[in-house]
Protein backbone atom coordinates (compact mmCIF):
# COMPACT_ATOMS: atom_id res chain seq x y z
CA UNK A 1 0.00 0.00 0.00
CA UNK A 2 1.30 3.44 -0.84
CA UNK A 3 2.37 5.66 2.03
CA UNK A 4 0.87 8.74 0.36
CA UNK A 5 -2.01 10.19 2.41
CA UNK A 6 -4.08 13.31 2.31
CA UNK A 7 -2.94 14.33 5.79
CA UNK A 8 -0.52 17.27 5.34
CA UNK A 9 1.81 16.05 8.10
CA UNK A 10 2.50 12.33 7.69
CA UNK A 11 5.17 12.27 10.37
CA UNK A 12 5.20 10.61 13.79
CA UNK A 13 6.51 13.82 15.34
CA UNK A 14 3.29 15.58 14.35
CA UNK A 15 0.88 13.08 15.91
CA UNK A 16 1.14 14.35 19.48
CA UNK A 17 2.98 11.37 20.96
CA UNK A 18 5.29 11.66 23.97
CA UNK A 19 9.03 11.94 23.41
CA UNK A 20 9.92 8.52 24.94
CA UNK A 21 7.49 6.86 22.49
CA UNK A 22 8.94 8.77 19.54
CA UNK A 23 12.41 7.66 20.59
CA UNK A 24 11.29 4.01 20.65
CA UNK A 25 9.67 4.40 17.22
CA UNK A 26 12.92 5.80 15.86
CA UNK A 27 14.87 2.91 17.41
CA UNK A 28 12.54 0.49 15.62
CA UNK A 29 13.44 2.14 12.31
CA UNK A 30 10.05 3.69 11.51
CA UNK A 31 9.86 7.24 10.19
CA UNK A 32 6.57 7.62 8.33
CA UNK A 33 3.23 6.48 9.78
CA UNK A 34 0.86 4.44 7.64
CA UNK A 35 -2.53 5.88 6.62
CA UNK A 36 -4.40 4.03 9.38
CA UNK A 37 -1.92 5.35 11.95
CA UNK A 38 -2.18 8.93 10.68
CA UNK A 39 -5.96 8.85 11.00
CA UNK A 40 -6.44 6.66 14.07
CA UNK A 41 -3.78 7.88 16.50
CA UNK A 42 -5.14 11.46 16.90
CA UNK A 43 -8.67 10.11 17.40
CA UNK A 44 -7.58 7.63 20.08
CA UNK A 45 -5.67 10.40 21.85
CA UNK A 46 -8.92 12.38 22.26
CA UNK A 47 -10.23 9.62 24.55
CA UNK A 48 -13.31 8.73 22.50
CA UNK A 49 -14.44 5.38 21.11
CA UNK A 50 -13.23 4.36 17.67
CA UNK A 51 -14.20 1.88 14.97
CA UNK A 52 -11.26 1.45 12.58
CA UNK A 53 -10.87 -0.71 9.50
CA UNK A 54 -7.81 -1.31 7.35
CA UNK A 55 -6.37 -4.10 5.28
CA UNK A 56 -4.18 -6.46 7.24
CA UNK A 57 -0.51 -5.46 7.17
CA UNK A 58 -1.17 -1.71 7.23
CA UNK A 59 -0.08 -1.03 10.80
CA UNK A 60 -3.26 -1.45 12.87
CA UNK A 61 -1.35 -2.70 15.92
CA UNK A 62 0.74 0.46 16.20
CA UNK A 63 -2.41 2.43 15.40
CA UNK A 64 -3.80 1.61 18.83
CA UNK A 65 -0.67 0.67 20.79
CA UNK A 66 1.12 4.01 20.36
CA UNK A 67 -1.72 6.31 21.54
CA UNK A 68 -2.62 3.96 24.42
CA UNK A 69 0.97 4.08 25.69
CA UNK A 70 0.81 7.86 25.49
CA UNK A 71 -2.51 8.09 27.37
CA UNK A 72 -1.45 5.74 30.17
CA UNK A 73 1.95 7.41 30.57
CA UNK A 74 0.34 10.86 30.82
CA UNK A 75 -2.05 9.66 33.55
CA UNK A 76 0.15 7.63 35.90
CA UNK A 77 -1.53 5.83 38.78
CA UNK A 78 0.22 6.05 42.13
CA UNK A 79 -0.84 2.61 43.32
CA UNK A 80 -1.36 0.10 40.51
CA UNK A 81 -3.37 -2.86 41.74
CA UNK A 82 -1.93 -6.35 41.46
CA UNK A 83 -3.51 -8.15 38.54
CA UNK A 84 -5.68 -5.09 37.88
CA UNK A 85 -4.80 -3.82 34.37
CA UNK A 86 -5.66 -0.33 33.15
CA UNK A 87 -5.85 -1.44 29.52
CA UNK A 88 -7.17 -4.73 28.15
CA UNK A 89 -6.33 -5.78 24.59
CA UNK A 90 -8.36 -8.76 23.38
CA UNK A 91 -7.37 -10.69 20.29
CA UNK A 92 -8.57 -13.96 18.75
CA UNK A 93 -5.35 -15.99 18.51
CA UNK A 94 -2.33 -16.80 20.61
CA UNK A 95 0.18 -15.77 17.94
CA UNK A 96 -1.42 -12.36 17.46
CA UNK A 97 -1.61 -11.82 21.23
CA UNK A 98 2.11 -12.49 21.55
CA UNK A 99 2.92 -10.14 18.68
CA UNK A 100 0.80 -7.33 20.11
CA UNK A 101 2.49 -7.61 23.50
CA UNK A 102 5.87 -7.57 21.75
CA UNK A 103 4.82 -4.29 20.09
CA UNK A 104 3.77 -2.89 23.47
CA UNK A 105 7.23 -3.66 24.86
CA UNK A 106 9.00 -2.32 21.76
CA UNK A 107 7.19 1.04 21.71
CA UNK A 108 7.01 1.39 25.48
CA UNK A 109 10.59 0.48 26.36
CA UNK A 110 11.40 3.99 27.59
CA UNK A 111 8.22 4.19 29.71
CA UNK A 112 7.65 2.81 33.20
CA UNK A 113 4.49 0.97 32.12
CA UNK A 114 4.22 -2.78 32.67
CA UNK A 115 2.54 -5.36 30.45
CA UNK A 116 2.01 -9.08 30.00
CA UNK A 117 0.26 -11.51 27.68
CA UNK A 118 -1.95 -14.48 28.57
CA UNK A 119 -3.27 -17.18 26.24
CA UNK A 120 -4.16 -20.85 26.29
CA UNK A 121 -2.11 -23.83 25.23
CA UNK A 122 0.57 -23.22 27.86
CA UNK A 123 0.86 -23.71 31.61
CA UNK A 124 -1.49 -21.35 33.44
CA UNK A 125 0.60 -21.15 36.63
CA UNK A 126 3.30 -18.71 35.38
CA UNK A 127 0.53 -16.45 34.09
CA UNK A 128 -1.19 -16.51 37.48
CA UNK A 129 2.12 -15.65 39.14
CA UNK A 130 2.61 -12.69 36.79
CA UNK A 131 -0.88 -11.43 37.57
CA UNK A 132 0.01 -11.19 41.25
CA UNK A 133 2.21 -8.21 40.36
CA UNK A 134 1.25 -4.64 39.32
CA UNK A 135 0.13 -4.42 35.70
CA UNK A 136 -0.78 -1.61 33.27
CA UNK A 137 -1.53 -3.42 30.01
CA UNK A 138 -2.91 -6.93 29.59
CA UNK A 139 -3.02 -8.63 26.17
CA UNK A 140 -5.21 -11.72 26.19
CA UNK A 141 -7.23 -14.28 24.29
CA UNK A 142 -10.81 -14.65 25.53
CA UNK A 143 -10.74 -18.27 26.71
CA UNK A 144 -7.73 -18.03 28.99
CA UNK A 145 -8.83 -14.61 30.26
CA UNK A 146 -12.18 -16.03 31.36
CA UNK A 147 -10.43 -18.97 33.01
CA UNK A 148 -8.26 -16.62 35.05
CA UNK A 149 -11.17 -14.29 35.85
CA UNK A 150 -13.15 -17.32 37.03
CA UNK A 151 -10.32 -18.16 39.41
CA UNK A 152 -10.19 -14.54 40.66
CA UNK A 153 -6.63 -14.28 39.35
CA UNK A 154 -7.32 -11.11 37.38
CA UNK A 155 -9.38 -8.04 38.30
CA UNK A 156 -10.89 -6.22 35.32
CA UNK A 157 -12.70 -3.54 37.34
CA UNK A 158 -9.95 -0.98 36.67
CA UNK A 159 -9.87 -1.19 32.86
CA UNK A 160 -9.83 2.30 31.36
CA UNK A 161 -9.28 1.27 27.72
CA UNK A 162 -10.61 -1.82 25.93
CA UNK A 163 -9.23 -2.90 22.55
CA UNK A 164 -10.89 -5.56 20.41
CA UNK A 165 -8.39 -6.37 17.69
CA UNK A 166 -9.57 -8.29 14.61
CA UNK A 167 -13.08 -7.25 15.61
CA UNK A 168 -14.77 -9.10 12.75
CA UNK A 169 -13.60 -12.35 14.33
CA UNK A 170 -13.91 -11.25 17.94
CA UNK A 171 -17.56 -10.35 17.46
CA UNK A 172 -18.31 -13.23 15.14
CA UNK A 173 -20.65 -15.93 16.36
CA UNK A 174 -17.86 -17.95 17.90
CA UNK A 175 -16.79 -15.15 20.24
CA UNK A 176 -19.85 -13.07 21.01
CA UNK A 177 -20.75 -15.01 24.17
CA UNK A 178 -17.22 -14.80 25.52
CA UNK A 179 -17.07 -11.10 24.73
CA UNK A 180 -20.34 -10.46 26.57
CA UNK A 181 -19.05 -12.29 29.65
CA UNK A 182 -15.88 -10.21 29.61
CA UNK A 183 -17.76 -6.95 29.07
CA UNK A 184 -19.83 -7.71 32.18
CA UNK A 185 -16.62 -7.67 34.23
CA UNK A 186 -15.49 -4.26 32.94
CA UNK A 187 -16.44 -0.82 34.27
CA UNK A 188 -19.05 0.94 32.13
CA UNK A 189 -16.99 4.13 31.88
CA UNK A 190 -14.15 3.22 29.54
CA UNK A 191 -12.73 3.92 26.08
CA UNK A 192 -13.50 1.27 23.46
CA UNK A 193 -11.43 0.69 20.33
CA UNK A 194 -12.39 -1.82 17.64
CA UNK A 195 -9.79 -2.54 14.95
CA UNK A 196 -10.30 -4.96 12.08
CA UNK A 197 -9.32 -5.78 8.53
CA UNK A 198 -12.90 -6.18 7.32
CA UNK A 199 -16.38 -5.24 8.53
CA UNK A 200 -19.61 -6.78 7.33
CA UNK A 201 -22.77 -4.77 7.88
CA UNK A 202 -23.87 -7.30 10.51
CA UNK A 203 -20.63 -6.92 12.44
CA UNK A 204 -20.95 -3.14 12.29
CA UNK A 205 -24.42 -3.45 13.81
CA UNK A 206 -23.00 -5.50 16.67
CA UNK A 207 -20.17 -3.00 17.14
CA UNK A 208 -22.68 -0.15 17.33
CA UNK A 209 -24.14 -1.74 20.43
CA UNK A 210 -20.75 -1.71 22.17
CA UNK A 211 -19.44 1.72 21.19
CA UNK A 212 -20.52 5.12 22.44
CA UNK A 213 -20.69 7.73 19.66
CA UNK A 214 -17.56 6.34 18.00
CA UNK A 215 -15.29 7.93 15.47
CA UNK A 216 -14.79 5.95 12.28
CA UNK A 217 -11.65 5.37 10.24
CA UNK A 218 -11.41 3.15 7.19
CA UNK A 219 -8.43 2.86 4.87
CA UNK A 220 -9.08 1.29 1.44
CA UNK A 221 -12.43 -0.04 0.32
CA UNK A 222 -14.15 -2.56 2.51
CA UNK A 223 -13.33 -6.24 1.86
CA UNK A 224 -10.95 -5.55 -1.02
CA UNK A 225 -7.72 -7.30 -1.92
CA UNK A 226 -4.47 -5.37 -2.14
CA UNK A 227 -3.60 -4.24 -5.67
CA UNK A 228 0.02 -5.15 -4.91
CA UNK A 229 -0.83 -8.86 -4.79
CA UNK A 230 -0.61 -10.75 -8.10
CA UNK A 231 -3.47 -13.26 -8.02
CA UNK A 232 -3.70 -16.38 -10.19
CA UNK A 233 -5.69 -19.62 -10.28
CA UNK A 234 -4.54 -23.12 -11.26
CA UNK A 235 -7.43 -25.46 -12.08
CA UNK A 236 -6.53 -28.82 -10.57
CA UNK A 237 -8.29 -31.89 -9.22
CA UNK A 238 -8.29 -32.08 -5.44
CA UNK A 239 -6.45 -35.42 -5.53
CA UNK A 240 -3.41 -33.88 -7.28
CA UNK A 241 -3.09 -30.67 -5.25
CA UNK A 242 -0.34 -31.91 -2.94
CA UNK A 243 1.81 -32.91 -5.90
CA UNK A 244 1.24 -29.50 -7.52
CA UNK A 245 2.24 -27.59 -4.37
CA UNK A 246 5.47 -29.58 -4.21
CA UNK A 247 6.10 -28.84 -7.90
CA UNK A 248 5.41 -25.11 -7.55
CA UNK A 249 7.78 -24.70 -4.61
CA UNK A 250 10.58 -26.72 -6.24
CA UNK A 251 10.15 -25.48 -9.84
CA UNK A 252 10.02 -21.80 -8.83
CA UNK A 253 12.61 -22.20 -6.05
CA UNK A 254 10.30 -20.43 -3.59
CA UNK A 255 12.00 -19.95 -0.23
CA UNK A 256 9.13 -18.67 1.91
CA UNK A 257 5.58 -19.84 1.21
CA UNK A 258 2.48 -19.72 3.42
CA UNK A 259 -0.11 -22.35 2.42
CA UNK A 260 -3.71 -22.27 3.64
CA UNK A 261 -5.67 -25.50 4.03
CA UNK A 262 -9.28 -25.90 5.12
CA UNK A 263 -8.67 -28.65 7.67
CA UNK A 264 -6.08 -29.58 10.27
CA UNK A 265 -5.64 -33.08 8.84
CA UNK A 266 -5.13 -31.56 5.39
CA UNK A 267 -2.41 -29.30 6.79
CA UNK A 268 -0.63 -32.28 8.33
CA UNK A 269 -0.82 -34.37 5.15
CA UNK A 270 0.53 -31.58 2.96
CA UNK A 271 3.43 -30.81 5.32
CA UNK A 272 4.34 -34.51 5.45
CA UNK A 273 4.24 -34.73 1.64
CA UNK A 274 6.55 -31.74 1.25
CA UNK A 275 9.04 -33.07 3.80
CA UNK A 276 9.01 -36.41 1.98
CA UNK A 277 9.90 -34.52 -1.23
CA UNK A 278 12.84 -32.81 0.46
CA UNK A 279 11.15 -29.46 1.12
CA UNK A 280 11.42 -28.10 4.67
CA UNK A 281 7.82 -27.66 5.86
CA UNK A 282 5.78 -27.47 9.05
CA UNK A 283 2.07 -27.32 9.89
CA UNK A 284 0.34 -25.15 12.48
CA UNK A 285 -3.25 -25.49 13.62
CA UNK A 286 -5.38 -25.69 16.73
CA UNK A 287 -4.35 -29.25 17.61
CA UNK A 288 -0.66 -28.31 17.77
CA UNK A 289 0.74 -27.35 21.15
CA UNK A 290 1.60 -23.71 21.65
CA UNK A 291 5.28 -24.60 21.84
CA UNK A 292 5.14 -26.42 18.51
CA UNK A 293 3.31 -23.52 16.86
CA UNK A 294 5.75 -20.94 18.20
CA UNK A 295 8.74 -23.02 17.06
CA UNK A 296 7.29 -23.55 13.58
CA UNK A 297 6.59 -19.84 13.13
CA UNK A 298 10.09 -18.89 14.32
CA UNK A 299 11.68 -21.37 11.90
CA UNK A 300 9.52 -20.05 9.06
CA UNK A 301 10.59 -16.48 9.80
CA UNK A 302 14.30 -17.32 9.98
CA UNK A 303 14.21 -19.45 6.80
CA UNK A 304 14.80 -22.83 8.40
CA UNK A 305 11.34 -23.88 7.21
CA UNK A 306 10.47 -22.92 3.62
CA UNK A 307 6.76 -23.77 3.70
CA UNK A 308 4.36 -23.10 6.56
CA UNK A 309 1.02 -24.90 6.17
CA UNK A 310 -1.76 -23.41 8.27
CA UNK A 311 -5.48 -23.32 8.83
CA UNK A 312 -7.18 -19.92 8.78
CA UNK A 313 -7.51 -19.77 12.57
CA UNK A 314 -3.87 -20.61 13.25
CA UNK A 315 -2.62 -18.09 10.66
CA UNK A 316 -4.83 -15.25 11.87
CA UNK A 317 -2.69 -12.23 12.70
CA UNK A 318 0.64 -13.64 11.56
CA UNK A 319 2.98 -10.71 11.00
CA UNK A 320 5.71 -11.76 8.58
CA UNK A 321 7.70 -9.02 6.88
CA UNK A 322 7.78 -9.12 3.06
CA UNK A 323 6.18 -12.56 2.69
CA UNK A 324 6.43 -13.15 -1.06
CA UNK A 325 4.09 -16.08 -1.67
CA UNK A 326 0.71 -17.37 -0.48
CA UNK A 327 -1.00 -20.54 -1.76
CA UNK A 328 -4.66 -21.33 -1.23
CA UNK A 329 -4.65 -25.13 -1.15
CA UNK A 330 -8.45 -24.92 -1.01
CA UNK A 331 -10.64 -21.85 -1.36
CA UNK A 332 -12.35 -20.70 1.83
CA UNK A 333 -16.12 -21.06 2.10
CA UNK A 334 -16.51 -17.36 2.92
CA UNK A 335 -15.10 -14.84 0.39
CA UNK A 336 -13.89 -12.41 3.08
CA UNK A 337 -11.50 -15.09 4.33
CA UNK A 338 -9.79 -15.02 0.92
CA UNK A 339 -9.03 -11.33 1.45
CA UNK A 340 -7.49 -12.14 4.83
CA UNK A 341 -5.41 -14.94 3.36
CA UNK A 342 -3.83 -13.06 0.46
CA UNK A 343 -3.37 -10.07 2.76
CA UNK A 344 -0.49 -12.03 4.30
CA UNK A 345 1.55 -10.93 1.27
CA UNK A 346 1.83 -7.55 -0.46
CA UNK A 347 2.16 -5.88 2.94
CA UNK A 348 3.37 -2.38 3.73
CA UNK A 349 4.15 -1.50 0.13
CA UNK A 350 5.86 -4.75 -0.85
CA UNK A 351 4.65 -6.80 -3.81
CA UNK A 352 3.50 -10.39 -3.46
CA UNK A 353 1.75 -13.24 -5.22
CA UNK A 354 -1.19 -15.45 -4.30
CA UNK A 355 -1.89 -18.73 -6.10
CA UNK A 356 -5.18 -20.60 -5.63
CA UNK A 357 -5.55 -24.28 -6.46
CA UNK A 358 -9.17 -24.71 -7.54
CA UNK A 359 -11.05 -27.95 -8.09
CA UNK A 360 -14.15 -27.86 -10.31
CA UNK A 361 -16.31 -28.25 -7.23
CA UNK A 362 -14.85 -24.97 -5.93
CA UNK A 363 -15.85 -22.87 -8.96
CA UNK A 364 -18.84 -21.37 -7.16
CA UNK A 365 -16.56 -20.30 -4.29
CA UNK A 366 -14.23 -18.71 -6.86
CA UNK A 367 -17.12 -16.78 -8.42
CA UNK A 368 -18.16 -15.50 -4.98
CA UNK A 369 -14.61 -14.29 -4.32
CA UNK A 370 -14.39 -12.54 -7.69
CA UNK A 371 -17.72 -10.84 -7.02
CA UNK A 372 -16.44 -9.58 -3.66
CA UNK A 373 -13.12 -8.21 -4.96
CA UNK A 374 -14.77 -6.95 -8.16
CA UNK A 375 -12.24 -8.54 -10.50
CA UNK A 376 -11.70 -11.80 -12.33
CA UNK A 377 -8.73 -13.84 -11.21
CA UNK A 378 -6.86 -15.18 -14.26
CA UNK A 379 -6.74 -18.96 -14.71
CA UNK A 380 -3.28 -19.96 -15.90
CA UNK A 381 -1.48 -23.29 -16.37
CA UNK A 382 1.26 -24.16 -13.90
CA UNK A 383 4.62 -23.71 -15.62
CA UNK A 384 6.37 -27.05 -16.16
CA UNK A 385 3.61 -29.08 -14.52
CA UNK A 386 2.88 -32.55 -15.87
CA UNK A 387 0.04 -34.22 -14.01
CA UNK A 388 0.85 -37.76 -12.82
CA UNK A 389 -1.26 -40.58 -14.19
CA UNK A 390 -2.30 -41.61 -10.73
CA UNK A 391 -2.70 -39.60 -7.51
CA UNK A 392 -0.50 -40.51 -4.59
CA UNK A 393 -2.49 -42.74 -2.20
CA UNK A 394 -3.54 -41.21 1.09
CA UNK A 395 -1.45 -42.37 4.00
CA UNK A 396 -3.47 -43.75 6.93
CA UNK A 397 -3.90 -41.43 9.87
CA UNK A 398 -1.73 -42.12 12.87
CA UNK A 399 -3.76 -43.74 15.70
CA UNK A 400 -4.57 -41.63 18.68
CA UNK A 401 -2.46 -42.40 21.75
CA UNK A 402 -4.34 -44.60 24.20
CA UNK A 403 -5.43 -42.68 27.27
CA UNK A 404 -5.74 -44.27 30.68
CA UNK A 405 -9.31 -44.49 31.85
CA UNK A 406 -10.62 -44.54 35.42
CA UNK A 407 -11.18 -48.02 36.82
CA UNK A 408 -14.90 -47.42 37.22
CA UNK A 409 -15.30 -46.15 33.67
CA UNK A 410 -15.09 -49.52 31.94
CA UNK A 411 -18.70 -49.57 30.82
CA UNK A 412 -19.09 -45.90 30.08
CA UNK A 413 -19.00 -44.47 26.55
CA UNK A 414 -16.17 -42.30 25.33
CA UNK A 415 -16.85 -38.67 26.19
CA UNK A 416 -15.64 -35.42 24.76
CA UNK A 417 -15.24 -36.73 21.20
CA UNK A 418 -17.65 -35.31 18.65
CA UNK A 419 -19.30 -37.94 16.48
CA UNK A 420 -19.27 -36.68 12.91
CA UNK A 421 -21.26 -37.86 9.94
CA UNK A 422 -18.76 -39.67 7.71
CA UNK A 423 -20.82 -38.80 4.64
CA UNK A 424 -20.24 -35.08 5.10
CA UNK A 425 -17.38 -33.40 3.18
CA UNK A 426 -14.17 -33.01 5.11
CA UNK A 427 -14.09 -29.85 7.20
CA UNK A 428 -17.87 -29.79 7.80
CA UNK A 429 -19.93 -31.24 10.61
CA UNK A 430 -23.36 -32.75 10.57
CA UNK A 431 -26.02 -30.69 12.32
CA UNK A 432 -27.61 -33.96 13.37
CA UNK A 433 -24.47 -35.46 14.87
CA UNK A 434 -24.87 -36.76 18.43
CA UNK A 435 -23.55 -34.57 21.24
CA UNK A 436 -21.60 -35.48 24.32
CA UNK A 437 -23.26 -33.16 26.80
CA UNK A 438 -20.64 -30.44 26.61
CA UNK A 439 -22.80 -28.40 24.28
CA UNK A 440 -26.47 -28.16 23.59
CA UNK A 441 -27.41 -28.73 19.92
CA UNK A 442 -29.68 -25.69 19.84
CA UNK A 443 -26.74 -23.46 20.74
CA UNK A 444 -24.80 -24.42 17.60
CA UNK A 445 -26.04 -22.74 14.40
CA UNK A 446 -25.74 -24.21 10.94
CA UNK A 447 -22.22 -23.88 9.57
CA UNK A 448 -23.36 -23.44 5.98
CA UNK A 449 -22.70 -19.70 5.67
CA UNK A 450 -20.15 -19.24 8.45
CA UNK A 451 -16.64 -17.90 8.12
CA UNK A 452 -13.71 -20.19 8.86
CA UNK A 453 -13.40 -18.69 12.35
CA UNK A 454 -17.09 -19.04 13.16
CA UNK A 455 -17.17 -22.60 11.85
CA UNK A 456 -14.21 -23.46 14.05
CA UNK A 457 -16.03 -22.09 17.07
CA UNK A 458 -19.18 -24.03 16.21
CA UNK A 459 -17.41 -27.36 16.37
CA UNK A 460 -18.24 -29.36 19.53
CA UNK A 461 -15.63 -28.67 22.17
CA UNK A 462 -15.66 -28.33 25.96
CA UNK A 463 -17.39 -25.09 26.93
CA UNK A 464 -16.33 -22.88 29.81
CA UNK A 465 -19.41 -23.51 31.88
CA UNK A 466 -20.51 -26.84 30.41
CA UNK A 467 -23.11 -28.90 32.27
CA UNK A 468 -21.92 -32.24 33.51
CA UNK A 469 -22.44 -34.85 30.77
CA UNK A 470 -25.10 -37.40 31.48
CA UNK A 471 -24.64 -41.13 31.02
CA UNK A 472 -26.78 -41.88 27.99
CA UNK A 473 -26.10 -45.59 27.90
CA UNK A 474 -23.60 -47.62 25.91
CA UNK A 475 -22.20 -45.99 22.82
CA UNK A 476 -21.50 -48.42 19.97
CA UNK A 477 -18.85 -46.04 18.64
CA UNK A 478 -16.98 -45.78 21.94
CA UNK A 479 -13.24 -45.92 21.47
CA UNK A 480 -13.41 -45.27 17.74
CA UNK A 481 -11.78 -42.18 16.30
CA UNK A 482 -14.70 -40.64 14.40
CA UNK A 483 -13.56 -37.03 14.43
CA UNK A 484 -13.11 -35.58 10.96
CA UNK A 485 -11.36 -32.45 12.11
CA UNK A 486 -8.90 -33.51 14.77
CA UNK A 487 -5.95 -33.16 12.43
CA UNK A 488 -4.35 -36.32 13.76
CA UNK A 489 -3.33 -34.79 17.07
CA UNK A 490 -0.36 -36.56 18.53
CA UNK A 491 0.04 -34.64 21.70
CA UNK A 492 -3.48 -34.80 23.04
CA UNK A 493 -3.86 -31.02 22.73
CA UNK A 494 -7.27 -30.22 21.30
CA UNK A 495 -7.72 -26.59 22.24
CA UNK A 496 -9.05 -24.48 19.40
CA UNK A 497 -6.56 -21.95 18.10
CA UNK A 498 -9.24 -19.33 17.60
CA UNK A 499 -10.34 -19.32 21.20
CA UNK A 500 -6.82 -19.19 22.56
CA UNK A 501 -7.76 -21.99 24.98
Q: What does DSSP say about strands 161-165 and 229-235: parallel, antiparallel, or unpaired?
A: unpaired
Q: Mean pLDDT over residues 127-142, rounded?
A: 93
pTM for the structure as a whole:
0.56
Dist CA 359 CA 292 (whole Å): 31
Residue-level pLDDT at 5: 41
Rounded to the nearest 5°, which phi and psi values hold at 247? -65, -45
Edge-to-edge strands, sheet with 215-219: 115-118, 137-140, 87-90, 161-165, 191-196, 50-54, 215-219
More confident residue, 416 or 66: 66
Q: Distance between alpha carbon 358 and the CA centroid of its chain, in Å?
A: 24
pLDDT band (50, 70, 90) for residue 240: very high
Which residues are CB-contacts of 147 (< 8 A; sequence separation ≥ 6)? 120, 124, 464
Residue-level pLDDT at 312: 74
Q: Mean pLDDT over residues 48-71, rounded?
A: 86
Residue-level pLDDT at 313: 65
Beta bridge pairs of residue 235: 358
Length of the chain: 501
453-493 residue pLDDT tens: 444 444 544 433 344 445 545 554 444 444 444 334 333 33
Q: What whole-number percentage of the chain has pLDDT above 90?
A: 38
| Predicted confidence (pLDDT) at residue 369 exceeds the cutoff of 80 | yes
Asked whether the domain spanning 229-373 has the same topology as the one spanning 12-219, the reply is yes
Q: Does domain 229-373 have CATH number 3.40.50.300?
A: yes
pLDDT band (50, 70, 90) for residue 117: very high
Q: Across all residues in the chain, what is the average pLDDT?
A: 76
407-461 residue pLDDT tens: 444 444 444 444 444 444 444 433 333 333 333 344 444 545 544 444 444 454 4
Q: Give domain 12-219's CATH number out of 3.40.50.620, 3.40.50.300, 3.40.50.10860, 3.20.20.70.
A: 3.40.50.300
Q: Mean pLDDT over residues 155-167, rounded?
A: 91
Nearest residue to 30 via CA among 42, 22, 38:
22
Residue-level pLDDT at 282: 94
pLDDT band (50, 70, 90) for residue 314: low
Domain ranges of the chain: 12-219, 229-373
Dist CA 94 CA 143 (whole Å): 10
Amino acid sequence: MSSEVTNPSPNFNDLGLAEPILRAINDAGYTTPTPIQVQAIPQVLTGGDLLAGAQTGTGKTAGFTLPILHILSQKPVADIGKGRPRCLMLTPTRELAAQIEESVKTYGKYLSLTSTVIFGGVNINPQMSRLRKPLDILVATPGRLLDLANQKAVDLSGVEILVLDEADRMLDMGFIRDIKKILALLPKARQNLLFSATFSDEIKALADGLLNNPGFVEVARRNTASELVEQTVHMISQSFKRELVSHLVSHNNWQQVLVFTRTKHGANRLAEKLVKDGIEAAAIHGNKSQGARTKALAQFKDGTVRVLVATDIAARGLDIDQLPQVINFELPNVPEDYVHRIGRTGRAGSSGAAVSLVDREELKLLKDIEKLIKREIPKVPADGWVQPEKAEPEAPRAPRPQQRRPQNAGAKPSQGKPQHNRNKPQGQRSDKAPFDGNRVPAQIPSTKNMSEAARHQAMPQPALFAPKPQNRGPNPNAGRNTSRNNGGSRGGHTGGGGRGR
